[in-house]
């Protein structure tokens, strides 16, 4: 049996290694148009920022070491130029010699990855404008930064890579500006969580311009002038384009292999394309979102590596191992904060007509009486029918990773918020509280589903009538430091003694700093005859972050 793999990074290399473990006697050829295989793509910004100082640590395997261990014929700097899937052959260019030749196959695995988006803006080819996708890009950026004594950096795009680059360039002592065309950074998360992170970025002295599109670039002495759609501009010594990526499907243009509605390579549950002898993995494929059931891409190393293993199983042993799809669990370090997401954000659930409820809490990373506890904000979305957990988003400073992993497991198994309430965690004061933030998120969601808690959201104040009451149940000192317009202050501990001052004929909207005291006040009022009472989800803290 002869297998050909196109692409030798996460998905391709993972497939090749698993193929060899399953079939010692097969002929396996892996083509890679670049110079490197199986490198740590996610570590590239940290090498530029000198967090990772040894470049060789980015190279998980070399072509020689991969061949020695797995007996795979790895051909780097060798580009597959076309595929003839009717005659089961590929046409290849050896970039080192200029030689072109043909190879036949029994089974073909596609892992061409994704390519960075470079819009045709005026001046985009100027020296000093880079994308970051591979090791060569990293070398170019690092060399340019070191040789040019760069002082001003502009990062275009507020996604994961863009924010990692902004942090690393800032840590090198540069003045950094982030330009984002949308109204928030981090498109996979909802606005409230993004707003919390945006405050943190600005606190570091980084300029963050939202709702701003770049229209072009001009040479400006030794630097670059970055022009905006607002008729403004900013000077830069280096520009990092992090606008996004798209599936690299150019090889399929002259084949009958099917693309999907998301413009990726269509695959079935066995990672098999429309040609039964061709499989595909990684950034270039699309599959059904297990939550919205719409076609989607994912550009994450974790799913690509797991797809490679499943693909190899099916290629060798027949289509027996189903791929369940990805819920896009991801995490990113943004200066001192950590932001993580799993599942489908509320804005995309709304777009996909998926009914859901959103709830936000703030909770400590571990016991408050133990030194170093820091707050994290957790937003979840869940089904109003049965509490099925649909998404989780967390922004915090410590312990974010372990909480999102728990949430991810619940989402991927289509389990409910009731599991969160009973989740048994490892507890000691340095690591958690007796009621973990995961439990607390579940408790609040359960209260909502069982009608013990009625919530409203930070962006609904414009809908509140002037006849309604907005009551701030924080202390008078907290109220004096800042409050929501038109609110009156009745601290929660005094509310039982001031019921005569609160009309039962009005709608009452409560809020506190984080949500807990508002909930307690709501329970007091509801059980003493007040019928129209709601509590602000996420409290004043979230409202302030979203409206600042």
Catalytic residues: 42
The residues facing 451 across adjacent strands are none
DSSP assignment letter at 499: G
The two structure tokens encoding residue 368: 């408050």
Residue 251 in tokens: 């090889």
Distances (CA, A) of 314 to 10, 285, 480: 18, 16, 65
Radius of gyration of the chain (CA): 27
Q: Which residue's entry shows tokens 């494929």?
A: 285
User: Which two structure tokens, joined as six digits, stand for 155?
Assistant: 């990062």
- In angstroms, the Cα distances linking 274 to 11, 125, 302, 312 are 19, 37, 24, 17
Residues 8 and 76: beta-carbon distance below 8 Å: yes
Contact in structure between 370 and 429 (CB atoms under 8 Å): yes
Token pair listed for 369: 């009486």
Q: Tell me the C-alpha to C-alpha distance, in Å, between residue 382 and each of 23, 52, 354.
A: 44, 39, 10
Rounded to whole angstroms, the Cα distance separating 103 from 3 reads: 10
Residue 464: exposure state from Cβ atoms within 10 A (0-12, 13-18, ≥19): middle
Per-residue CA distances from 405 to 99, 329, 535 (Å) = 48, 8, 29
The Cα-based distances of 35 to 80, 497, 498 in angstroms read 14, 74, 74
């Amino acid at each position: 049996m002869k297998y050909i793999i196109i692409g030798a990074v996460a998905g391709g290399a993972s497939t090749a290694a698993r193929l060899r473990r399953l079939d010692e006697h097969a002929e396996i050829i892996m083509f890679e148009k670049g110079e490197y295989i199986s490198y740590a793509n996610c570590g590239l910004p940290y090498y530029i920022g000198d967090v990772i100082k040894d470049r060789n640590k980015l190279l998980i395997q070399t072509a020689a070491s991969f061949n020695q261990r797995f007996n795979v014929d790895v051909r780097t700097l060798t580009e597959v130029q076309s595929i003839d899937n009717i005659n089961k052959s590929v046409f290849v260019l050896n970039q080192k010699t200029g030689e072109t030749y043909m190879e036949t196959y029994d089974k073909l695995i596609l892992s061409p990855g994704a390519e960075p988006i470079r819009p045709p803006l005026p001046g985009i080819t100027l020296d000093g404008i880079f994308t970051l996708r591979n090791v060569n890009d990293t070398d170019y950026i690092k060399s340019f930064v070191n040789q040019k004594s760069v002082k001003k950096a502009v990062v275009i795009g507020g996604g994961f890579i863009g924010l990692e680059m902004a942090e690393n360039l800032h840590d090198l002592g540069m003045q950094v500006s982030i330009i984002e065309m949308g109204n928030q950074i981090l498109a996979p998360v909802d606005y409230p969580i993004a707003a919390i992170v945006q405050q943190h970025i600005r606190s570091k002295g980084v300029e963050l311009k939202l709702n701003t599109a770049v229209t072009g670039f001009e040479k400006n002495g030794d630097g670059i002038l970055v022009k905006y759609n607002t008729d403004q501009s900013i000077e830069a010594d280096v520009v990092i384009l992090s606008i996004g990526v798209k599936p690299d499907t150019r090889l399929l243009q002259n084949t009958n292999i099917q693309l999907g509605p998301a413009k990726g390579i269509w695959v079935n549950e066995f990672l098999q394309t429309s040609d039964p002898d061709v499989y595909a993995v990684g950034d270039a494929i699309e599959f059904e979102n297990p939550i919205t059931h719409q076609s989607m891409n994912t550009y994450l190393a974790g799913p690509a590596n797991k797809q490679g293993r499943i693909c190899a199983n099916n290629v060798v042993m027949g289509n027996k191992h189903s791929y369940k799809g990805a819920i896009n669990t991801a995490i990113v370090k943004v200066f001192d904060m950590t932001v993580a997401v799993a599942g489908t954000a509320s804005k995309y659930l709304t777009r996909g007509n998926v009914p859901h409820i959103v709830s936000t809490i703030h909770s400590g990373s571990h016991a408050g009486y133990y030194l170093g506890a820091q707050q994290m904000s957790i937003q979840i979305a869940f089904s109003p029918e049965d509490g099925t957990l649909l998404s989780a988003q967390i922004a915090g400073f410590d312990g974010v990773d372990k909480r999102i992993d728990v949430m991810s497991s619940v989402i991927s198994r289509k389990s409910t918020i009731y599991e969160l309430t009973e989740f048994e965690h490892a507890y000691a004061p340095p690591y958690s509280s007796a009621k973990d933030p995961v439990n607390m998120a579940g408790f609040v969601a359960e209260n909502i589903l069982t009608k013990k808690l009625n919530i409203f959201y930070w962006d609904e104040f414009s809908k509140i009538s002037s006849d309604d009451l907005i009551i701030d149940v924080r202390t008078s000192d907290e109220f004096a430091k800042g409050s929501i317009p038109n609110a009156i202050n009745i601290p929660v501990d005094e509310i039982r003694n001031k019921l005569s001052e609160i009309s039962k004929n009005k709608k009452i909207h409560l809020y506190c700093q984080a949500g807990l005291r508002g909930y307690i006040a709501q329970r007091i009022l509801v059980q003493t005859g007040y019928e129209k009472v709601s509590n602000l989800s996420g409290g004043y803290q979230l409202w302030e972050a979203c409206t600042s």
